[in-house]
Structure 1
Amino acid sequence: MNSALAVDRPSTQPHILVVEDDPILNDQIAVLLGGNGYCFTQCFDGESALELAISSSYSLILLDIMLPGKDGLSVLNILRSCNSTPVIVVSAKHAEEERIMGLSAGADDYLAKPFNSQELLLRIDAVIRRSNRNENVTNASLQIDNLALCLTTKQVLVGDADVSLTPTEFGLLSILVQNIQQVLSKAFLYQAVLNKQYSQYDRSLDMHMSRVRKKLMEKGWDGSRLQTVHGKGYCIK
């Protein structure tokens, strides 16, 4: 069996790398994607997946955890050191610990087998749209009422007052503002901003959030809007 099989379609269509060692399931996913307007490349092992992900450009990677050679988590850990392509982890391991490990390693979403085809398509669409939206605001300014952030200069203003934030504090605030009303898990924030694996004994994220809230309140912004959602994470209302 070839390590990778590609289907070429017009470049405007999203291109998905399917990494799944079960050839039957891999083919089923490929048929589903092809029938819904996606182009795809099929891959069946971790080493080939890593080579393809680094050498080519994809809109999204569907990544199984249990793979021959390098497992999916190893692939994801290496990939996230040099590549920001969105990843949905697809695995039979649906326990909470495995989900957290995938998200901590940098996955954008997690789907357990067996999965509903329509749910898979909806999750793919949501992750790609979110990725495109984040790319479009890279050089934009964000604003919530009198709180304004410039993503290029990393400047934060409450009204006319400048708020001095560290790079980590700015990263946490900006990702929450870009996902207003959405609860972002601690595991996700650890990976996305702190660049380390989540640990329930590590309070660094809580301390960073506390400092952000305090600095905003000192400049007159309602710090209660930066909320701690017990057992889940953080959000801005």
Structure 2
Amino acid sequence: MTSILIIEDDLALNEQISALLVHKGFSVHSEHDGLEGLHVAERQFFNLILLDVKLPRLMGYELLAQLRKTQQTPVIMLTAFGAEEHRIKGLSLGADDYLSKPFNIEELLLRIDAILRRTSAPLPQTHGNAQSDICFNDTQMLAQYRQKHIELTPIQFNLLKTLVKNNKSPLSKQYLYQHVLKREYSQYDRSLDMHLSRVRKKCVQVGMPAHFITTLHGKGYCFNADT
């Protein structure tokens, strides 16, 4: 089910939009506070976020700037500020669309539909190993195993994708540091091991066999799914 996060401090408007979207068949989560909205957006997967600009504790612009550091979830900004400079600011920070209040509900639905049609295409397979059932969407940095979403940070996403693309080929720590972590390898740096451990744990949680990601002592790591 398509999921939408509403971050809007106007309780009546939030409830109105939420009820409408639920009636249309969407899964909806509502927040009324900017800081809490950011925490929810970072921890859960949503197909789209409706984001008010003027929010308690954390303004919508700042929330969007923080969100774009880790993910590319589509965002429609909702605001009473109709001036062109506010619209430009929102778009420059990474908003996908901008709707000024008061707005027509039908127009909101059309804009939601347009963004979802553009961003919710089937996730393309990145390798030919059908048995592993893993697919990636680079634009949204989403990974799935047998249609189950894997909650990954950007670094974890790139790490898993790199391993999968090189199926059955051992990748050294030096290689992964340079191509995933974007820095030189140090024998005292354990961050790669930490990321790999978390990737493996998250993959197992959605049903992937633990042996698909193996540690090769003295060599590095390898994704080894049967063909």
TM-score range, shorter chain: 0.5 to 0.7
Aligned partner of residue 94 in structure 1, secondary structure: coil
Q: Structure 1: how far apart are the matches of 2:91 and 2:40? A: 21
Q: Deviations over 1:105-128 (max 9, x none)?
A: 100000111111111011011111
For residue 111 of structure 1, the aligned residue among 72, 76, 99 is 99
Q: Structure 2: how far apart are the matches of 1:71 and 1:19? A: 11
Q: Structure 2: how far apart are the matches of 1:137 and 1:113? A: 37
For residue 17 of structure 2, the aligned residue among 10, 29, 38 is 29
Q: Displacement of 1:138 after TM fit? A: 8.7
For residue 52 of structure 1, the aligned residue among 40, 43, 50 is 40
Q: Displacement of 1:35 after TM fit? A: 1.1
* Counterparts in 2 of 1:65 and 1:132: CA distance versus 1, 3 Å: same
Work out whether 1:79 is the aligned partner of 2:50: no
TM-score (norm 1): 0.52
Q: Percent identity?
A: 47
User: Structure 2 regions of 5+ residues with no counterpart?
Assistant: 127-137, 139-227
User: Structure 1 regions of 5+ residues with no counterpart?
Assistant: 1-12, 140-150, 152-237
Q: Structure 2: how far apart are the matches of 1:130 and 1:94? A: 25
For residue 87 of structure 2, the aligned residue among 96, 99, 106 is 99
Over aligned residues, Cα RMSD in angstroms? 1.8
Work out whether 1:127 is the aligned partner of 2:115: yes
Q: Structure 2: how far apart are the matches of 1:98 and 1:70? A: 17
Report 1:1-237 matches (<5 A).
13-133=1-121, 136=123
| Count of equivalent residues | 128
The structure 1 segments of at least 4 consecutive aligned residues displaced by more than 4 Å after TM superposition are 135-139
Aligned partner of residue 120 in structure 2, secondary structure: helix
Q: Structure 1: how far apart are the matches of 2:117 and 2:125? A: 14
Q: Structure 2: how far apart are the matches of 1:48 and 1:67? A: 10
Aligned partner of residue 21 in structure 1, secondary structure: coil
* Counterparts in 2 of 1:99 and 1:138: CA distance versus 1, 3 Å: farther
Q: Displacement of 1:136 after TM fit? A: 4.3
Q: Displacement of 1:78 after TM fit? A: 0.4
Q: Deviations over 1:154-202 (max 9, x none)?
A: xxxxxxxxxxxxxxxxxxxxxxxxxxxxxxxxxxxxxxxxxxxxxxxxx
Aligned partner of residue 89 in structure 1, secondary structure: strand
Q: Deviations over 1:195-226 (max 9, x none)?
A: xxxxxxxxxxxxxxxxxxxxxxxxxxxxxxxx
Q: Displacement of 1:129 after TM fit? A: 1.2
